[in-house]
């Protein structure tokens, strides 16, 4: 099992170099028609639910479209970049960008750190129970976020299990989800718990792709475990590390479920993310503003993704 | 050092495993406690008297049976759609030469990157325009041809030798015949991965069904659970909420236990879920 996200894309064959006449010949036309027939089901869904909505979102973001205008689309006015200007003057939007940045800045390193440490341990030559551990650590990845958020609410409510444990060691537990300073850490913890298994599996795949004889040569030369980690494992794992970090960044930039379910963005907006802002604007019928906010998100995600491709191209 | 290394590693792993399982344990113990018991002491670890009352109530009065049927119907549509759409598209992208191939592959990659929050407003407008608001079809449709599935199938198809297909072509077999008779029988592992991954995506999907479903008759399990728990939270009916959480999680966890390989392959292969 190898990580194929990017390397695979380079396996596309170069476009055929037949002369023009040949390419336009009937068999070539037929081949193209047949191929697009194969692609048709995907293409229809892609056009309907990705291509058109993306273009439309850009269009909406330049208008004052509201929910009530959906039946009278021609009454909508073109307002240029007004939505975007208003967005960045909106204190709650700026706050939500900072909240999202915090989620990424804390969540990504934490998720990666735990995933990497576990992958390293599971790959350190232990045999027994290895499969069991991997199953356990990966199980949170397949859980339903609504269900887990309920467990979190139960555990972190004022009289909940977490505070009961804290009380047992003599600490008074706060009301976690009602405290503007403590709600975000609880939300981040939920995200980390559900995602470190993904990081672990990707790191494991990366570690297993490193040839064993490199380590054997190093230990013959007298390199200890730490030096092997620093000078062999980490450098050879760089493409994986890069991929995991961008994957999680793109993922956490779009964080919605966790704050929506745990806190609804509160208390005092302290856990509201950009995606939640988009949803709130949509909910109150401000489709233009909502689309503008979502386009800011799309640009952010695209920038991170492009940086990923560039970095990976230059490294591998 | 080496003498202590193994026990230390196992100790650390066991500790991490216990911490990881803690939320599950908490959910199970809480779901088996009665309402009175939870109200008296919300934070207690162990139920004093075990009761299945919470689970009975879910199905008897909260409509979870209906939610579950809806979830299964939507998941079936999504899985079948993905198998059909992704097998065909992945095969074409890997094994056929045609005009617009790069464009098509670019579309698959782009579709994996577009954030949901950028498109859901228009997706909703389109769904309403097609008369599919508040229907199970409307919930399933955006997920029936996931780019992730196409990508998995394309990667798999690349590993199948061209010679196999060429031989059939020379014998005069048409493209569709080659696809059904030669390619599909070989694509089992990729079909399995796609089945698992699209089922997982559909079963756990929350925001989209929340937007499209407007009445209890179309609620999927996650939407129904969110609605039920909103009401239950007001009366601190945690047992009911946790029982609901278990009902939603259990099918996928069981599937995961038996088909772990495909889950891990799917997520490691695409980094998506």
The pLDDT, as a whole number, for residue B66 is: 94
A104 in contact with B at a CB cutoff of 8 Å?
no
CB pairs under 8 A between A and B: 303
The string over B167-203, giving b where at least 16 C-beta atoms fall within 10 Å of a residue's C-beta and e elsewhere, is: ebeeeebebeebbeebbeeebeebbbbbbbbbbbbbb
For the cut 60, the answer to whether the pLDDT of residue A18 exceeds it is: no
DSSP state of A78: B
A241 in contact with B at a CB cutoff of 8 Å?
no
pTM above 0.80, yes or no: yes
Percent of chain B with pLDDT over 90: 48
The partner residues of A78 in beta bridges, in order of sequence, read A63
Assigned CATH topology for domain A92-315: MetI-like fold (1.10.3720)
Q: Tokens at residue B218, please?
A: 């179309």
> Across residues B3-14, what is the average pLDDT?
84
Q: What does the alpha-carbon distance between residue B147 and residue B197 come to, in Å, rounded to a whole number?
A: 12
> Across residues B111-129, what is the average pLDDT?
87
**CA B29, B31, B34, B39 torsion: positive or negative?**
positive
Q: What does the alpha-carbon distance between residue B45 and residue B48 come to, in Å, rounded to a whole number?
A: 9
| Nearest one of B97, B86, B208, B223 to B144, comparing CA atoms | B86
Domain boundaries, chain A: 92-315
B96 with A275: Cβ contact below 8 A? no
For the cut 70, the answer to whether the pLDDT of residue A7 exceeds it is: no
The end-to-end CA distance of chain B, in Å, is 40
Average pLDDT of chain A to the nearest whole number:
84
Of A54, A150, A152, the CB nearest to B114: A54
The chain B residue lying nearest A273, using CA atoms, is B117
C-alpha distances out from residue A30 to A34, A50, B104, Å:
6, 28, 17
pLDDT in tens, A85-119: 888 888 999 999 999 999 999 999 999 999 999 99
Q: Tokens at residue A201, please?
A: 């599996």
Task: For residue B20, give how far its alpha carbon lies from the nearest alpha carbon of chain A (Å).
Answer: 7
Domain boundaries, chain B: 62-270
Of A45, A57, A247, the CB nearest to B122: A57
Residue to substitute from A7, A14, A20, A38, interface B, most B β-carbons within 10 A: A38
pLDDT in tens, A27-68: 788 888 989 999 999 999 999 999 999 998 888 888 888 776
Task: For residue A299, give how far its alpha carbon lies from the nearest alpha carbon of chain B (Å).
Answer: 9
A42 with B273: Cβ contact below 8 A? no
A208 in contact with B at a CB cutoff of 8 Å?
no
The pLDDT, as a whole number, for residue B61 is: 85
C-alpha distances out from residue A196 to A134, A142, B90, B126, B190, Å:
12, 12, 29, 36, 25
Average pLDDT of chain B to the nearest whole number:
88
Residue to substitute from B119, B140, B190, interface A, most A β-carbons within 10 A: B119
Phi-psi region for residue A125, left (φ > 0), alpha (ψ -120 to 50) or beta?
Answer: left
For the cut 80, the answer to whether the pLDDT of residue B224 exceeds it is: yes
CB B215 within 8 A of CB B134: yes
The partner residues of A63 in beta bridges, in order of sequence, read A78
Residues 68-87 of A with CB under 8 A from B: 70
A137 with B207: Cβ contact below 8 A? no
Q: What does the alpha-carbon distance between residue A287 and residue A200 come to, in Å, rounded to a whole number?
A: 39
A50 in contact with B at a CB cutoff of 8 Å?
yes
pLDDT in tens, A260-293: 999 888 788 899 999 999 998 888 888 888 889 9
Of B23, B207, B222, the CB nearest to A151: B23
Helix A274-283 and helix A91-122, axial crossing angle in degrees, nearest 10: 130
For residue A129, the chain B residues in CB contact (below 8 A) are: 10, 13
For residue A198, the chain B residues in CB contact (below 8 A) are: 267, 271, 273
CB B192 within 8 A of CB B262: yes
CA angle A162, A166, A168 (to 5 degrees): 115
Q: What are phi and psi of B46, to 5 degrees?
A: -110, 135
For residue A293, the chain B residues in CB contact (below 8 A) are: 117
For residue B238, the chain A residues in CB contact (below 8 A) are: 154
B3 vs B167, higher pLDDT: B167
A93 in contact with B at a CB cutoff of 8 Å?
no
> Across residues B40-46, what is the average pLDDT?
77
Q: Tokens at residue B20, please?
A: 């990881």
Pick from A87-91, B16-20, B67-71: least confident: A87-91
The helix/strand/coil state of A316 is: coil
Q: Tokens at residue A77, please?
A: 């006015």
CB B26 within 8 A of CB A155: yes
A297 with B128: Cβ contact below 8 A? no
The helix/strand/coil state of B262 is: helix
A311 in contact with B at a CB cutoff of 8 Å?
no
CATH superfamily of domain region B62-270: MetI-like (1.10.3720.10)
For residue B114, the chain A residues in CB contact (below 8 A) are: 50, 54, 298, 301
Q: What does the alpha-carbon distance between residue B199 and residue A7 come to, in Å, rounded to a whole number?
A: 26
Q: How far is CA B234 from the centre of its chain?
A: 30
For residue B104, the chain A residues in CB contact (below 8 A) are: 39, 43
The pLDDT, as a whole number, for residue A312 is: 66
């Amino acid at each position: 099992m190898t990580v194929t996200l990017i390397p695979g894309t380079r396996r596309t064959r170069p476009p055929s170099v037949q002369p023009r006449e040949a390419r336009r010949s009937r068999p070539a036309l037929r081949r193209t028609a047949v191929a697009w027939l194969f692609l048709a089901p995907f293409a229809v869904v892609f056009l309907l639910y990705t291509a058109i909505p993306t273009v439309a979102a850009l269009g909406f973001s330049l208008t004052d479209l509201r929910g009530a205008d959906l039946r009278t689309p021609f009454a909508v006015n073109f307002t240029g970049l007004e939505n975007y200007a208003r967005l960045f003057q909106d204190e709650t939007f700026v706050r939500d960008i900072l909240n999202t940045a915090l989620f990424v800045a804390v969540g990504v390193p934490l998720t990666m750190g735990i995933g990497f440490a576990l992958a390293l341990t599971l790959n350190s030559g232990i045999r027994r129970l290895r499969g069991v551990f991997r199953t356990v650590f990966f199980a949170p990845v397949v859980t339903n976020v609504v269900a887990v958020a309920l467990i979190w609410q139960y555990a972190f409510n004022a009289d909940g299990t977490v505070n009961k444990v804290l009380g047992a060691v003599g600490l008074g537990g706060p009301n976690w989800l009602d405290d503007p300073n403590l709600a975000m850490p609880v939300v981040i913890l939920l995200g980390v718990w559900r995602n470190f298994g993904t990081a672990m599996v990707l790191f494991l795949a990366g570690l297993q792709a490193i040839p064993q004889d490199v380590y054997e040569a190093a230990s013959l030369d007298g390199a200890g475990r730490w030096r092997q980690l620093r000078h062999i494992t980490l450098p050879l794992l760089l493409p994986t590390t890069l991929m995991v970090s961008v994957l999680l960044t793109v993922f956490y930039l779009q964080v919605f479920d966790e704050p929506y379910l745990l806190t609804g963005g509160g208390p005092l907006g302290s856990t509201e993310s950009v995606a939640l802002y988009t949803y709130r604007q949509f909910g109150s019928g401000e489709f233009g503003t909502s689309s503008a906010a979502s386009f800011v998100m799309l640009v952010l995600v695209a920038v991170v993704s492009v940086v990923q491709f560039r970095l990976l191209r230059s490294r591998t | 050092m080496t003498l202590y290394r193994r026990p230390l590693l196992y100790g650390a792993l066991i500790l991490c495993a216990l911490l990881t399982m803690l939320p599950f344990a908490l959910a199970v113990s809480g779901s088996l406690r009665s309402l009175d018991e939870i109200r008296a002491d919300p934070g207690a670890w162990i139920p004093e008297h075990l009761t299945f009352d919470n689970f009975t109530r879910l199905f008897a009065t909260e409509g979870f049976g209906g939610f579950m049927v809806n979830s299964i119907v939507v998941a079936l549509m999504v899985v079948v759609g993905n198998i059909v759409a992704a097998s065909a598209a992945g095969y074409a992208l890997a094994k056929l030469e045609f005009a617009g191939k790069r464009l098509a592959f670019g579309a698959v990659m782009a579709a994996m990157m577009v954030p949901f929050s950028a498109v859901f407003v228009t997706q909703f407008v389109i769904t309403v325009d097609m008369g599919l608001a508040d229907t199970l079809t409307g919930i399933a449709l955006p997920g029936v041809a996931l780019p992730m599935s196409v990508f998995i199938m394309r990667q798999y198809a690349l590993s199948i030798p061209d010679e196999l297909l060429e031989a059939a072509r020379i014998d005069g077999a048409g493209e569709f015949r080659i696809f059904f008779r030669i390619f599909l029988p070989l694509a089992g592992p990729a079909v399995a991965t796609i089945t698992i991954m699209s089922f997982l995506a559909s079963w756990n999907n929350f925001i989209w069904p929340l937007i499209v479903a407007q009445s209890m008759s179309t609620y999927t399990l996650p939407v129904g659970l969110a609605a039920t728990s909103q009401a239950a939270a007001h009366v601190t009916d945690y047992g009911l909420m946790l029982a609901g959480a278990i009902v939603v999680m259990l099918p996928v966890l069981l599937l995961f236990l038996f088909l772990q390989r495909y889950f891990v392959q799917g997520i490691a292969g695409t980094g998506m879920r």
